[in-house]
Amino acid sequence: MINSFQYGIDTLSIRTAIAIANGQVKGILGEQAIEKISRSASAVASIVAEGRTVYGVNTGFGILANTPISEEDTKTLQYKILQSHSVGVGDPIAPEIAKLMLITKVHALAQGFSGVQLSTLERLCWHIDNDIIPIVPEKGSVGASGDLAPLSHLCLPLIGLGEVYENGIRKPAAEVLASYDMQPVQLGPKEGLALINGTQFILAHAVKAVQRFQNCLDAADIIGAMSLEALTGTKAPFEDALHQLRPFEGNLLVAQRLRKILSDSAIMQSHVDCGRVQDPYSLRCMPQVHGASRNAWYHLKQLTETELNSVTDNPIVLDADHTISGGNFHGQPLALPLDYNCFAAAELGNISDRRCYLLLEGKWGLPMLLMNNVGLNSGFMIPQYTTAALVTENKTLCFPASADSIPTSLGQEDHVSMGSISGRKLNRVLDNLEFILAIELMSACQAIEFRRPLKSSPILEFAHDHVREYVEFASEDRIFSKDIEKITAIIRDFSFVNQVNTFANNAGIDLNENYQGYIC
């Protein structure tokens, strides 16, 4: 392990959460956290022993909050809540997102305001450390009262129920626990409620979306610059003096990145006196469009990292004499930014599709459809059909889930965020965006070769050559879906952006200079 992270004590960032999920950082329960956890559990034990009424400790849940539960039934209540609330449907979420749910749940509970036992948190840590990942259905949360259904499924293995992935194989949790000679945990009062009351399903999707969207934003700048080069566009609209007159930080960053990416290009130098006055918006306005999406992304990043270090269950146990029934479980603070990041990601795909179209028109010295002898060959005509379809699909995904609310729990929970849908939806938009960017990159690599023997900038020539390690120049038609899959793979696994960044850094070029906050 590179280093360790103390749950409940250290500040959890998006980068660290993903590093723990990937096994690069070890999450631990240190002495400070153990003291806080034990103190909180003791407070709940005192409440039960003294017979004081506290929601979820010795009452029913939701609309049943006024139904008292006897002391002897307080533990049974916690098992029943995990079972009754396990109503998720649909396909399982990705194991990485389920693991992020475990990590963020441990960090929230370890802050010592939830009344859970140390043994329960240690079992959750065991699941993380051993990659025994619970099966969590993707649908069923309304994003308030906590992500009740998905968190119930996440925590069923603690009591020997539900299913898990072990070495990628789906198995009954009881069978896996038995193979390790382990018994189900013995839940105490309030623990079941603390485990399922929280925003960790929304949060895990937000963490993954922030990471993926940053990668797409970085890729879009590189790919858009290559398209501009292939279309003999100008870099004049990216001058810093212009953007200082309208200094949105995302715009300034994108303009800087484009200037550095295009620096020292022979292609750019070859047409400085061509007489073309202005480029189409999809080339000229990249700082404004990509930059606006970066600004939306940055806000989501900030709010996600606030949520990563928050306590989101209910009730909150400050001490044995002070508990608060509040609404920290409500998903609205993330639902709204997740929704408008759907628009931001969709627009990145929209402008990318427009550049794909420009590359096909046969203008400015490029062959129509990016291939000689078209007629017999369709060239790159049909890949743009795919970008058009994906762009429209993303538009249909842009309806904000958080604009809707359906009352639940017989009206007790009369406003909900639907943020779980917002989080899933953003990741679906990003799935499509990665395909769109891959098709633009495939087309731009094809187009730039018609500018030979002139070379582009060192960064773009490296990017082009890197793609050519996977996909060759197309002199005639072939099954382009295979090419799209290969290029999408290097965008989706972050290797395309990482390789370009490494090349730039080795050349002494920091594409994000002075904007390190725009990196997660």
* Cα gap 296→221, rounded to integer Å: 16
From the list 284, 130, 286, 124, the residue with the least C-alpha distance to 198 is 124
Residues 6+ apart with CB under 8 A from 195: 82, 105, 109, 116, 120, 151, 152, 154, 155, 158
Q: Which residues are catalytic?
A: 55
Q: Could you tell me the two tokens for 37?
A: 């956890």
Burial class (CB within 10 angstroms; exposed 0-12, middle 13-18, buried 19+) of 337? buried
Residue 390 has a CB neighbour count (10 Å cut-off) of 23
Contact 261, 268 (CB under 8 A): no
From the list 280, 272, 430, 278, the residue with the least C-alpha distance to 355 is 280
Helix (H, G, I), strand (E, B) or coil at 395: helix
Report the residue count for the chain.
520
Helix (H, G, I), strand (E, B) or coil at 134: strand
Amino acid identity, position 480: F
Q: Could you tell me the two tokens for 314?
A: 């209910």
Residues 6+ apart with CB under 8 A from 168: 95
DSSP H stretches of helix in 180-312: 191-196, 200-230, 240-244, 249-261, 266-270, 281-284, 286-308
Backbone dihedral region for residue 406 (phi beyond 0: left; psi -120 to 50: alpha; all else: beta): beta
Residues 6+ apart with CB under 8 A from 191: 78, 115, 116, 117, 120
Burial class (CB within 10 angstroms; exposed 0-12, middle 13-18, buried 19+) of 294? buried
* Cα gap 60→53, rounded to integer Å: 11
Residues 6+ apart with CB under 8 A from 349: 387, 390, 391, 394, 429, 432, 433, 436, 437
* Cα gap 298→344, rounded to integer Å: 11
From the list 38, 37, 28, the residue with the least C-alpha distance to 7 is 28
Q: Could you tell me the two tokens for 403?
A: 């604009």
